[in-house]
Chains A and B, each alone.
Chain A
Amino acid sequence: MNEFLVLNNITMDFQVRRQLFGSLNVRAVDSVSLKLKQNETIGIVGESGSGKTTLGRLALRLLKPTGGNILFHGQNITRASEASLKSFRRQAQGIFQDPFASIDSFMNIYQILEEPLLIHRIGNQDMRRKLVSQALEEVKLTPVDDFLPKYTHTLSGGQRQRLAIGRALILRPDFILADEPVSMIDASSRAEILFLFKELQERRKISFIYITHDIATAHYFCQRIAVMYLGRIVELGPALTLIRKPLHPYTRALIAAVPSPNPSNRLQERLIIPGESPSPINAPIGCRFHPRCPDIIPNKCNVEQPQTITIRKGHLTACHLYS
């Protein structure tokens, strides 16, 4: 069993202050279980409010879950202190959504890439310089010597994100959490970043957890996809199967919403589900998706929460249509 990152029944509650008095408990992530194997990429797809970002933070232990546990290489890191997490942090890296915000604009490129090495006390100055140059070459920010002294405000969004990837790679981690890495980048530059991810996955055998709201990009380089809605995983399965034969109505809606470059699109309205994802504070009773679901079973879906059922090998869903 080479599952090195295991999230067991993870729950995350936040206290939200309502008006002046009292605070409310908001459940951002609800009983999520996920196992990440070596050299595997799992995509987590969901809209805003689905809890995918929170799940990402939990996977990197930037948050402590309020329920459940996290195992990394067998070790329980759920309640571990920051000091004891240092070796975990070396093996688990992150790439975040906003390439402008997640990198310190007061450091030049060399310093940005050197920082993880300094934090984990790797090598001497010569060694570090070599590793930094290597990282730049891997993410194709060349010629290396041109980029090293530059500051990030001279780079484009795509270039900055590649820098962030370089920074994540330099410690040779086991897994990288990529949280919406291409959403703030132009559509035409996205492919380049995704291609880089795929290359890294194949060449360096790094596992990825790839968080996105765009199922099309997940399809490109994830082996498995988990679809989240209001804190729960509503479907989890192999990427190709999930997209070709989606089980959950929400998955189907997500797939239908992806624009394709077909000129006849403009002549008809797309079939989509109505409304928006409600806020986790007002999660509907029963199946959380039922107010928007086109296949709702009356008196079942609005009453009872569906259990997670395995339909085919490695493909499961939480939906009353299959119980």
Chain B
Amino acid sequence: MSIIRVNDLYLHYGTPGGIVPAVGGVSFTIDGRETLGIVGESGAGKSSLALALMRTLPRNVVTFTGTVELDGTDCLKLSEEEYRKKIRWQKIAMVFQGAMDSLNPVIKVGKQVAEPLLLKPEIKSKQAHATTLELLKMVMLPPEIFHRYPHELSGGMKQRVMIAMALILKPKLLILDEPTSALDVIIQAQIMNLLKRFKRDLKLSILFITHDLALASDLCDKIAVMYAGEIIEMGTAEELLINPKHPYSQKLLGSIPRLAEDARPEFIPGAPPKMTELPPGCYFRLRCHHAYNRCLDEHPPNHKLPSGQLVKCWLYGDKR
């Protein structure tokens, strides 16, 4: 039973230099209690995708089309007012990238976590206080954190606060955008363990955005790889991490430095294309060892493999 179904999402920004595509035709579904990982380099469009789902896009958005079905309702068709009252933070919540640095430095932490609750007229402050304490406990923070200020907390603690804040209205979908990128490796593992626990105990669907494929393996049931605004491969964690099909996914997997083996990590030469200068044909072709003439001219569509895995690559299409 899918909680959220995204179909054909397109996003374009208007800049002084012209119209820049950010997300091009992205489609995916997340079922209840399922975690989907979106993996890609910076600039691939992952954050834009998340902001689109939250409908907190910047003002210079020019095109925003597609459908986002949450429990049957098309979120994009709702007015801003309706979306804010019914969906945002209540059905979908997000921990933004670098959010822990945007906590209000002059308001106590507990009050900030409780804020979404306090904004609801039907909830009294005593109840909100109790719920907040419950949540702090859930994210493994001692209750006295309620009365602390953000600068008194470490990075790991602040990130837990952000997660608590996102969960306070019991959303169905939690979006996490690079939640551990600024944290030390042990704290990162602790937070991942926490998220694993949530996955198990709460009926939570998660959209996990990261640039680290290894990190995605820690939580995600399904993984989608994004490149230049498109999903170029999507499949189960097993499929992506053991036998990735798209050359980019393969390189991505190969670039992870492993402790166990002595293998030299591969790297992908070159850089992703500038979104203002997208080449014709496949966007990855300039960096791909397997590119042939079809890749130069025609943009590959999504090919569905018999296993259900989706690959956007001519290597898997019907060869002509």
**Interface residue A90 (Cβ < 8 Å from any Cβ of B):** no
> Are B212 and A276 closer than 8 Å at their CB atoms?
no
Q: Which of A188-202 contact B (CB under 8 A)?
A: 188-192, 194-195
Query: Which one, B42, B186, B260, contacts A157 given CB within 8 A?
Result: B42
Among residues of B, the one whose C-beta sits closest to the C-beta of A260 is B214
Number of residues on chain A facing chain B (CB within 8 A): 44
- Cα A115 to Cα B271 in complex, Å, equals 27
User: Which residues on A sit within 8 Å (CB–CB) of B252?
Assistant: 188
Q: Which of A201-237 contact B (CB under 8 A)?
A: 213-217, 219-220
**Interface residue A293 (Cβ < 8 Å from any Cβ of B):** no
**Interface residue B155 (Cβ < 8 Å from any Cβ of A):** yes
- Cα A260 to Cα B215 in complex, Å, equals 7
> Are B271 and A263 closer than 8 Å at their CB atoms?
no
**Interface residue A166 (Cβ < 8 Å from any Cβ of B):** no
**Interface residue B147 (Cβ < 8 Å from any Cβ of A):** no
Among residues of A, the one whose C-beta sits closest to the C-beta of B262 is A240
> Are B211 and A216 closer than 8 Å at their CB atoms?
no
Among residues of A, the one whose C-beta sits closest to the C-beta of B236 is A263
User: Which residues on A sit within 8 Å (CB–CB) of B42?
Assistant: 156-157, 186
Q: Which of B54-108 contact A (CB under 8 A)?
A: none
> Are B259 and A260 closer than 8 Å at their CB atoms?
yes
- Cα A243 to Cα B258 in complex, Å, equals 11
User: Which residues on B sit within 8 Å (CB–CB) of A159?
Assistant: 271
Query: Which one, A187, A243, A259, A265, contacts B255 given CB within 8 A?
Result: A187
> Are A187 and B237 closer than 8 Å at their CB atoms?
no
**Interface residue B196 (Cβ < 8 Å from any Cβ of A):** yes
> Are A266 and B215 closer than 8 Å at their CB atoms?
no
CB distance from B116 to the nearest CB of A (A): 27
Sampled A-B contacts (27; CB under 8 Å): A47-B185, A157-B42, A159-B271, A188-B211, A191-B266, A213-B184, A254-B185, A254-B186, A258-B185, A259-B189, A259-B212, A259-B214, A260-B260, A261-B217, A263-B236, A263-B238, A263-B240, A263-B242, A265-B217, A266-B196, A266-B220, A268-B196, A269-B193, A270-B193, A274-B190, A276-B154, A276-B186
A interface residues, Cβ below 8 angstroms from B: 47-48, 156-159, 186-192, 194-195, 213-217, 219-220, 243, 253-263, 265-266, 268-270, 272-274, 276-277
B interface residues, Cβ below 8 angstroms from A: 35, 41-43, 154-157, 184-190, 192-193, 196-197, 199, 211-215, 217-221, 236-238, 240-242, 251-253, 255-260, 264-269, 271
- Apart from the given pairs A191-B267, A256-B189, A276-B156, 19 other A-B contacts in the complex at a CB distance below 8 Å: A159-B271, A186-B211, A191-B255, A192-B268, A192-B269, A195-B267, A216-B259, A257-B189, A258-B185, A260-B258, A262-B217, A263-B240, A265-B218, A266-B196, A266-B199, A269-B196, A270-B189, A274-B190, A276-B186
